[in-house]
A and B are shown apart, each in its own frame.
Chain A
Amino acid sequence: DIQMTQSPSTLSASVGDRVTITCRASQTISTWLAWYQQKPGKAPRLLIYKASTLEIGVPSRFSGSGSGTEFTLTISNLQPDDFATYYCQQYNSYSSWTFGQGTKVDIK
């Protein structure tokens, strides 16, 4: 199975900051990677798919990049609504999907 290693596990930041979260796959997944945002007690929300395509309705301050095994999610100009937990997910194969461990973005 493909393992996803996400870092950092926690990130403290201030409103207006630019933050970057990294996800590394144990083997190449091309660009079959998604990023989700989750708030307590809520279902995840898709932010980015195919590594860099912004889901409809997601603010443009979110961006994704990478291919192969290294990926990043960047939030520019962090807003109060962005304090949440973020997950990467690989979907390289129908038969096995995996998530990173999650990154909690909290207020510094």
Chain B
Amino acid sequence: EVRLVESGGGVVQPGGSLRLSCEVSGLTFRSYWMTWFRQAPGKGLEWVANINKDATEKYYVDSMKGRITISRDNTKNILYLQVNSLTAEDTAVYYCSRGIAASDLWGQGTLVTVSS
């Protein structure tokens, strides 16, 4: 069974940082591009970042460039998203997914709440 399980969310103060993780099982992780999306409460979906199979290509949404870093560990089958300088506008459910085209596999999401 293929599973993508996000973790690392929680409540963080404005200006703080978080590292989100996505543990992948049931597929050959190193064979796939991976993606982070997010969804603010009651809002639509937003693409956040892509990373290629060997982490030599990384792409970020313009609104978060400079504050986020996507990375992966192909030996542990884990995808990461480091988010710095958090603001209330970063409050959202963050999802990881597989693929460089349409995303056919998604995790359940991890909620990040930025609040003092």
Contacts and interface: CB of A to CB of B under 8 A. Distances in A.
A95 interface: yes
Interface string A70-96: 000000000000000001010100111
Contact of B57 (A32, A87, A94, A97): A94
B28 to A, nearest CB: 19
A51 B52 CA distance: 23
Nearest to B46: A99
Given A95-B59, A96-B59, A44 B106 contact: yes
Contact of A91 (B44, B52, B102): B102
Interface string B85-116: 00000000001000011111011110000000
Given A91-B100, A94-B59, A99-B44, 17 more contacts: A1-B62, A32-B101, A34-B103, A36-B45, A43-B109, A46-B103, A49-B101, A49-B102, A55-B102, A55-B104, A89-B102, A91-B101, A94-B33, A95-B59, A97-B50, A98-B47, A99-B45
B104 A46 contact: yes
B110 to A, nearest CB: 11
B17 to A, nearest CB: 24
24 contacts: A1-B62, A34-B101, A34-B102, A36-B45, A43-B106, A43-B107, A44-B45, A44-B95, A44-B103, A44-B106, A46-B104, A49-B104, A50-B102, A89-B47, A94-B50, A94-B57, A95-B50, A95-B59, A96-B47, A96-B62, A97-B47, A99-B44, A99-B46, A99-B47
Taking chain B's interface residues, is the majority helix, strand, or loop, or is none over half, making it mixed?
Answer: loop
Interface residues of A, number: 24
A94 B61 contact: no
A2 to B, nearest CB: 11
Contact of B95 (A43, A95, A98, A100): A43
Contacts of B59: 94-96
